[in-house]
Structure 1
């Protein structure tokens, strides 16, 4: 049997927080100033095909190291596609989501996820004391305002219904 440090680690993000206050992570992984700072290619999302991305543990740090090559060194820029909507993107090329403090934090996350070309930020208002954090959804293809059809509608534990505000979409270019 192989030593656990030499076993591949499959990274599938079910949610994360990339922001300045680790207390805001609310049970999901806090990534800022941790794994991504040490290894920006550590977070790999599944492809839209049923395959997984494999990473291996670094010998000393224990931080996952991608088996894929790093992205180009040029700094991507983002263009606003839409803003101020009351619906989030609903599309099959969805990669992952998390919580961020700013749009710039969401763009930084996209830059660390292989295949990410579009971000959708919005406030998902859940319950009476809505979070100031932005939901940051990442996609592998660009989208338009016409695809921002997810308006919420789920009943919350306190009996209220969640809804989406301030939805904005940004496409990446290098």
Structure 2
């Protein structure tokens, strides 16, 4: 049913634009059809459960992890355009922020302030947030910076809280990189919810290889605490 709706929308669009409009490939249509609220935007298994896998990437396109759809305009053959056409305006309307640079003589970047429109509920933990019931979880993906995670929270409907963290050896998009996992929720969580300390077996990895650093909780301004 959803694919039929997508195909119909594209047919209507094709009838009103010029021939110079780039064509949308079948592969892009398939990706767009697989990203929806019902399957947590491509990440139906939460990041604290066995077998989880991120659903998307938001960051500089040249650093996109292999196999993840890039939610940046102009990438993946008009993916963001197609998503908006079918009513899923989940690609941020701003360019991906560039990660902070490492100061001269330092080995780590200077801790940034919270992104505009957000405050830190917790910061610099070695465990990530979990939530119950699972319906309070929205989606998760890969970003390059904390600000990028906030941008995604702004774009996903009903997002009130974002947990941004490094999970080392976590599989798709994270191996041997400094990218962040960005998990989004409908309610505000606290440090008491940070009970995912790694070690779960992910796809194609042996158990006990993951661990978590730099976990922070971002509360959207104006959202009441639970």
Give the TM-score taking structure 2 as reference length.
0.55
CA change 1:120–1:62 in 2 (3 A) is: closer
Give me the whole-angstrom Cα distance separating, in 2, the residues matched to 1:4 and 1:166. 39
Aligned equivalent of 1:65:
85
SS of aligned partner of 2:199: strand
Output the aligned Cα RMSD: 3.2
Gaps of 5+ in 1: 43-60, 71-75
Greater than 6 Å deviation, 4+ residue runs: none
Q: Which has the larger radius of gyration?
A: 2
Give me the whole-angstrom Cα distance separating, in 2, the residues matched to 1:160 and 1:4. 41
* 1:142 maps onto 2:142 in alignment: no
With a CA cutoff of 8 Å and minimum separation of 6, indicate the structure with the bigger relative contact order.
1
SS of aligned partner of 1:82: strand
Give me the whole-angstrom Cα distance separating, in 1, the residues matched to 2:61 and 2:5. 35
Aligned equivalent of 1:163:
211
Give me the whole-angstrom Cα distance separating, in 1, the residues matched to 2:59 and 2:153. 14
Structure 2 contact 199–208 (Cα < 8 Å) conserved: no
Give me the whole-angstrom Cα distance separating, in 1, the residues matched to 2:176 and 2:89. 39
Specify which structure has the higher proportion of helix.
2
Gaps of 5+ in 2: 11-32, 43-54, 91-115
Aligned equivalent of 2:7:
5
Compute the displacement of 1:170 (Å): 0.8
CA change 1:164–1:81 in 2 (3 A) is: same
Give me the whole-angstrom Cα distance separating, in 2, the residues matched to 1:141 and 1:3. 31
Aligned equivalent of 2:159:
116
Correspondences of 1:24-173 after superposition (within 5 Å): 24-34=64-74, 62-65=82-85, 67=87, 77-91=117-131, 92=134, 93-126=136-169, 130-155=176-201, 157=205, 161-173=209-221
Give the TM-score taking structure 1 as reference length.
0.70
Aligned equivalent of 2:47:
none
Specify which structure has the higher proportion of strand.
1
Give me the whole-angstrom Cα distance separating, in 2, the residues matched to 1:148 and 1:115. 21
Compute the displacement of 1:159 (Å): 7.0
Length, aligned pairs only = 145
